[in-house]
Structure 1
Amino acid sequence: MPKREKGLKLKSDTRTSARAGSNGRSAGFRAGWNDGYFLGMCEAIGRRTPGFRAEPRKLKVLYIPQGFESVDHGVMEGLGQTVTEPIAGNPETMAEQARECRPDLVLVMNGLHVFPENHLEQVDRIRAMGVRTAVWFADDPYFTQDTAAIAPHYDYVFTHEIGCVDWYRSIGCANVHYLPLAASVSRYRPAHVDPRYRSDVCFIGTAFENRAAFIDKIARFLSGLRVVIAGGLWDARLTRYALLAGQIRLGYTPAEECARYYAGAKIVLNVHRHTAEPKNTAGLPGRSVNPRTFEIAGCGTLQLTDVREDLPLHYAPGEEIAVFSSPGEARERIRYYLNHESERRKIAWNALMRTRRDHTYAHRLDRLLGTVFGDG
């Protein structure tokens, strides 16, 4: 090539490179401005809706955790706002702890899985001391075979599943109340996150068969997006695993990591598990939302969820949360909201405001304590 042509080519490449650099800087500026504006609005919402505000009750509550990281953290956070003496206990020694500290209430989360064989014997001993006891079931209705034996030992039964209330009453429990779970606003909140937590679409959860079948039906569509799927069994149950393998993180995701993924996503999917489980011997349907519903909303992210019966009690579909009834509809909603940023953000902001106003663990604990101590 002649020298002059080489020179012209170099000049042209330089101009092209300069334009590309300018375009990159402009795109980066726009993205940074958009993120700043979004998070600024989230901060303003947080200031306008600071959450639960009331004087703590002069009560001592011994809380026995289940081992659900998000829930246990949220309950202790809520008790810290609602009672003067919250105490974190241990399933192995709760009767001894109750004897030593003489609480006004022993509150047990779930009473399943990690609890010792003498769990119910300990509950009976605590009641014999004259201490009130309450259990809050967070796995209903998937383990009715087990909870049928547990519930009658407690003074008060609270369940996050609205469809279990009458059933617990039918097996002899006198004080049964519907009490949804909630979000820890200190953990599940809007945040600026590292790029590795950012995505167009995020789903976190175990690959139960209905979830794997759902993702299979939209896998080809998702493969063209920036996606995060995290949880166990996806490699075993997702037929189209190869399409998404590079965007799937297998195994357990700690709560703090979940919060970052939620905060970094444009859309978070929520697909409830089916209730046809071997230990749901009562055959009860799932009518209530999972705790993830509140946690996603608390991060200021658009949530796209399948519908459970009690969802409208918590969030207004189309205004505070987006819903779908089939994989095809979910695909179209994802496409729509990715292309309509202002609508997506408005719904996310509305959900954040509603969560902070109505759905913190302090709100739930205030309701529980009011029920137990007669002022709610």
Structure 2
Amino acid sequence: MTPKTVLLVAGSAGFSTRDVWEGYRQGLAQCGVNVIPYATFSMLRVLSHEAVGNDIVGKAHDVRNGVDAVVFIDGMHFSGERAWVPATLRDSNILTAVIKTDDPYCPIADTQRLYHLVCTNELYQKPDAEAYLPTATLAAPEISARVGQEPESDVVFIGTLFEDRVATMLKLAEHCDRRGLRFRMAGNFPADATQFKRIPAVDFSSGTVRPDAKWRMYAASKLVLNLFRAADQAVSPSPRVFEVTALGSPALLTGVRRDEVTRIFGDSVYHFDDADELCQQVDRAIANDADRRRRVAQAKLITDQAHLYRHRSETLLKLLARQRARFSTLRVTSARPDAADTPAESGATLKPDRIPEERLAWLIGCGRTGSTWLCEMLDALPEMRGWHEPYFGRLVQHLAERPDERKRPSAFFFDGNGKAGLRAIRAAFYEVAKERYPGFGAEALVVKEVNTPELFAMIEELFPLSRMLFLVRDPFDVLDSYIDMRQPGSWNRASNDRASSDPKHLAKHIASAYARAADAFEAFEVSQRLQVRYESMITDAAGELVRIASFLGTQANVDEIDRVVDRFRFDRHKDTGPGAFRRHGRPGVWQDSPHFTRQVHETAESILGELRERFGYTATSPR
């Protein structure tokens, strides 16, 4: 389940990583998360290290806060003798994560023992057990309000002048002096800076640069220099790369070259490998205003579309949801346990039976789309079972219709109870599924739930590691089938008395169900979702089954699939045609259907036309 409330813990440094903490604070809030910020750097001014640790643990456990996850930005302060803080949280079954902002310069020991989720900013250093979560930036401030507030410069450097940067910076300063360019340097300079002060082209100021002053200096310059610290084989961007490109005014000079910076930005920024190439790039950028502005606009577009903290927060939430599912213990009891597995004590809990959630798939969409046919064929394949319409979604219908129930303290689904209600629903599903399908886990289980659209949006939260199959059919054919189903004497007699046969009402139902399915599908993790078309099943059922079986990680040879397809051929069914459950077994029926009068066609076009276009259908066929 995706965390709804996150305790976000900053590091002890009042600069650098503080910006990352603030970025995730705003980014998570933009994603709809209730963020409880914990400014360690401020709390240490009034509390001891021990008291700060106790305060964090207390806030995480306070049921009034309803904390789903604790995310540590940096993690350096909570290592070594203070590692007991994340260790206590993890051992008490609170989801913990750390975003290592100082990789590769300051490694942290024992992160896998302390945290459920470990994220690194540096791709090269990422082991298989960690996630790559690069730096980012907040949306840049409006630049027009800052123009003219600082003296103009051609090149600006804001940061720390480490020893390994002095030679490069000195050569650039002397080059700017010879070319008559203005070079501004601001920040912390532990190295000897007197040699820079003697160069007329250099405007030199020492001390911590506040954020607003930083933006003013950027806005007043044509070029901003990003100089990476020496780190063997580091390849990933620093925060400055994204904050400068997001501003949309100065161009970025960045070096030495890093593979990830090149991959992301291409030639929209100026790259260099040494001091000579840096000076050449400065000359190139200053000499060609049009090209520099083109690069600036392109770099801003790249950052705005994929590298804001809102984007990183979306990724973080999905990673946390997967870790929650992976590390939570799910007990599925059996009515007939083996004697060796049954504790002697009366009433003791039966042995846990862990089921890999990757073996669970949800078939969603809308009724009258061929979902029964598909479910029948999947159920007949080896290593796979199909569960036909358990109507599990009805268990969450109340919550889907009244989402505010999650905030009502006396409600069953109140999030403040540690989401016990949702966890109970999830556990109930597994309890019933395991009883009904004892091979579930060894076999993949496909659950057909096309008629409970209230469930679609909640699948990712309830079953974040599961798979999703989205079955699509031309909405006009679906409407024609619904109209036929509601005719007197049709197969669906049980619903004829209570269900509306008005084509407008039916079209609205189809549009609503399909839209909810499409929204849920598009929000689902890309690697865990697969779209299937009814029309493709008609033309190549075997090929579609191969594709689905591969997606679900099951083994089925061509001969087995061909036998299944032949077994469920449409012409093997006796009761077909108008009014039957299985009518024609072909696409495009609406085009010559007596139900699709001119008036119905107009209704269908007005209600379902946009949906057809979204799914890629033209007047007669899918694009």
Tell me the TM-score range normalised by the shorter chain: 0.7 to 0.9
Distance 2:102 2:143 in 1: 24
1:310 and 2:260 matched = yes
Moved more, 179-188 or 212-221: 179-188
Residue aligned with 1:141, SS: coil
Residues 110, 138 of structure 1: 8 Å contact kept: yes
Which of 309, 317, 326 is the equivalent residue of 1:369? 317
- 1:176 aligns with 130
**1:300-353 Cα deviation digits (max 9, x unpaired):** 12101111121133212x2x2111122122112111211211111110011111
Residue aligned with 2:135, SS: coil
Which of 290, 297, 300 is the equivalent residue of 2:238? 290
How much has 1:90 moved relative to structure 2? 4.2
- 2:221 aligns with 265
- 1:130 aligns with 93
Residues 134, 158 of structure 1: 8 Å contact kept: yes
How much has 1:190 moved relative to structure 2? 6.4
Amino acid at match of 2:9: I
Kindly report which structure 2 residues correspond to 1:109-124, keeping only aligned pairs within 5 A, or say none: 109-113=73-77, 115=78, 119-124=82-87
- 2:103 aligns with 140
Distance 1:130 1:149, change over 3 A: closer
Distance 1:150 1:58 in 2: 21
- 1:160 aligns with 121
Distance 1:90 1:235, change over 3 A: closer
Amino acid at match of 2:161: A
Distance 1:313 1:188, change over 3 A: farther
- 2:342 aligns with none
Residue aligned with 1:229, SS: strand
Amino acid at match of 2:7: L
Which of 68, 72, 82 is the equivalent residue of 1:104? 68
Residues 155, 184 of structure 2: 8 Å contact kept: yes
Distance 1:75 1:190 in 2: 26
Amino acid at match of 1:98: A
Distance 1:359 1:160 in 2: 13
How much has 1:69 moved relative to structure 2? 3.4
- 1:46 aligns with none
Which of 221, 230, 249 is the equivalent residue of 1:274? 230
- 2:8 aligns with 63
Amino acid at match of 1:218: L
Amino acid at match of 2:263: L
Amino acid at match of 1:164: Q
Distance 1:304 1:259, change over 3 A: same
Distance 1:330 1:184 in 2: 28
Amino acid at match of 1:298: A
Larger Rg: 2
**1:235-276 Cα deviation digits (max 9, x unpaired):** 61574442158511111112222122122210111110102x
Moved more, 220-229 or 206-215: 220-229
1:222 and 2:176 matched = yes
Residues 183, 201 of structure 2: 8 Å contact kept: no
* Residue ranges of structure 1 left out of the alignment (5+ in a row): 1-56, 170-174, 276-283
Distance 1:97 1:197 in 2: 47
User: Which structure is higher in RCO with an 8 Å CA cutoff and minimum separation 6?
Assistant: 1
How much has 1:152 moved relative to structure 2? 3.1
Distance 2:195 2:230 in 1: 19
Which of 324, 334, 357 is the equivalent residue of 2:282? 334
Amino acid at match of 2:117: Y
Which of 159, 167, 177 is the equivalent residue of 1:205? 159
Distance 1:368 1:74, change over 3 A: same
Distance 1:287 1:130 in 2: 35
Distance 1:107 1:90, change over 3 A: same
- 1:86 aligns with 35
Residues 137, 246 of structure 2: 8 Å contact kept: yes
Distance 1:252 1:339, change over 3 A: same
Residues 288, 308 of structure 1: 8 Å contact kept: yes
How much has 1:218 moved relative to structure 2? 2.1
Residue aligned with 2:160, SS: coil
- 2:504 aligns with none
Residue aligned with 1:182, SS: coil
Distance 1:63 1:367 in 2: 16
TM-score by length of 2: 0.46
Distance 1:84 1:289, change over 3 A: closer
How much has 1:128 moved relative to structure 2? 2.6
**1:96-132 Cα deviation digits (max 9, x unpaired):** 110112411111001125x587532111221133211
- 1:72 aligns with 21
Amino acid at match of 2:150: R
Residues 135, 151 of structure 1: 8 Å contact kept: no
Amino acid at match of 1:272: F
Cα RMSD after superposing both structures: 2.3
Distance 2:258 2:3 in 1: 37
Distance 1:189 1:243 in 2: 30
* Residue ranges of structure 2 left out of the alignment (5+ in a row): 41-51, 323-463, 465-524, 526-623
Distance 1:103 1:189 in 2: 37
Distance 1:189 1:164, change over 3 A: farther
Distance 2:124 2:239 in 1: 16
1:344 and 2:292 matched = yes
**1:262-300 Cα deviation digits (max 9, x unpaired):** 22210111110102xxxxxxxx53221211110111111
Residues 204, 230 of structure 1: 8 Å contact kept: yes
Amino acid at match of 1:326: D
- 1:22 aligns with none
Residue aligned with 2:192, SS: helix
Distance 1:326 1:125 in 2: 47
1:95 and 2:95 matched = no
Distance 1:191 1:151 in 2: 46
Distance 1:368 1:86 in 2: 13
Residues 185, 298 of structure 1: 8 Å contact kept: yes
Amino acid at match of 2:84: E
